[in-house]
Amino acid sequence: MQEIIKKLQEHDKRFDRHDERFDRVDKRFEQIDKRFDQIDEQIEFIAAKVSEHDDRLDKMTVILVEHTARLDRIEENMATKDDIKNVTTTLDKIVGLFEKKDQESTLMDHDIKNLDDRLEKVENDVKIMKPALGLA
């Protein structure tokens, strides 16, 4: 009887060690899950910004078309130096906005690529971990 109790106690100790290992693995999964949540939030934020910039670009395109039509009318009516100066000033502002948006777009493209690379690495890590943990 004593031997059976001793064996049961040994098994209990083994189960405790296994429980500790499972707890560590569970904590690791929670950390990874939090990272995925952060990445999801970042992707959603970037997607919203891209959409916002698309809307702004559409509006700027409409403004540019309107200004082009105005320039055509001014040329037909022999524009004055003041008219040309006003149009030039407006176009300079628009070009500045386009350059700024182009720079922002370039930076966002880089950020999205970094996020995609990071997500791919995390997904690969998870694929490697699942078989090792007996989850796949």
Distance, in Å, from the CA atom of 71 to the CA atom of 75, rounded to the nearest integer, reads 6
Show the beta-strand stretches assigned E in 1-136.
none
134: left (phi over 0), alpha (psi -120 to 50) or beta: left
Closest CA to 46 of 120, 123, 105: 105
Q: What is the pLDDT of residues 34-43, one digit of tens each?
A: 998 999 999 9
pLDDT over 90, % of the chain? 52
Q: What is the pLDDT of residues 93-125, one digit of tens each?
A: 999 999 999 999 999 999 999 999 999 999 999
Q: What is the pLDDT of residues 58-92, one digit of tens each?
A: 999 999 999 999 888 877 877 788 988 999 999 99
pLDDT of residue 136: 65
Tokens describing residue 9: 């106690």
